[in-house]
Amino acid sequence: MSDERKAPAAEYVRRLDAGHLAYQECRDCGHRFHYPRISCPSCSSRAVEFRDSRGLGTVYARTVVHSRNEPPYNVVLVDLDEGFRIMSRVDGVANDAVQIGLRVRLKGIEPGRDGVMPAPVFQPAEAR
């Protein structure tokens, strides 16, 4: 292993900090996946490359968390068009409108703090 190889999570965060949601693609089997790893979970090849997503996807599952101390907020799983899935949130629309099948696009990256990762957040695809 070469010394200059980047730690997967560090490279992922570097791309988030630059405004991009990254995934990895396997050069051997073509599998695309998220979260960042040193090897492909489909074929175990180490020939995995980072790519930036176009940021377009579809809500695969959704919930709205209710709490006594703050307004309800949504939590979704988004299937990105490139073929990987992440947890996220959809902003800019009422929680009730955040339904499975909703087309979404990346709104931006919320900076991380206190050891919490930067967060790629979505908005409805048709929003401007």
Partner 1 sequence: MWSLRGRMAIVGVAEAGLGVAPKGWTPMDVTAEASLRALADAGLSVRDVDGVFSASAYYQMASVELAEYLGIKPRYTDSTQIGGSSFMTHVEHAVGAISAGLMDVALIAYGSTQRTDSGRLVTQAKPFAYEEPFRPRHPVSMYSLVASRHMHQYGTTREQLAEVAVQARAWARLNAAAFERGPLSIQDVITSRMISEPLTSRDCCLVTDGAGAVIITSAERARDLKQPPVYLLGTGTAHWHRHISQMPDLTVTAAVESGQRAYARAGLGPADIDTVQLYDAFTINTIVFLEDLGFCRKGEGGPFSANGAIAPGGRLPVNTNGGGLSYCHPGMYSIFVLIEAVRQTRGECGERQIKDVEVSLAQGNGGVFSSQITLILGNGATV
Interface residue with partner 1, options 14, 31, 32, 85 (CB under 8 A): 85
Q: Confirm if 39 and 48 have CB atoms less than 8 A apart.
A: yes
Smallest gap, in angstroms, from Cβ of residue 77 to partner 1?
A: 6
Q: At closest approach, how far in Å is the CB of 2 from partner 1?
A: 25
Peptide bond preceding 23: is omega within 30 degrees of 0, i.e. cis? no
Alpha helices in the chain (DSSP H): 8-17
The enclosing H or E element of 85 equals strand 85-88
| Residue 102 contacts which entry, partner 1, Zn ion, none (Cβ below 5-8 A, type-dependent) | none
In the list Zn ion, partner 1, none, the entry touching 62 (Cβ below 5 to 8 angstroms by class) is partner 1
Distance of CA 102 to the CA centre of its chain: 16
Q: DSSP 3-state assignment of 87? A: strand
Over the window 36 to 75, marking each residue x when it contacts partner 1 by CB under 8 A and - when it does not, the resulting string is: ------------------------xxxxxxxx-----x-x
- Residue 31 or 37: the one with the smaller Cβ distance to Zn ion is 31
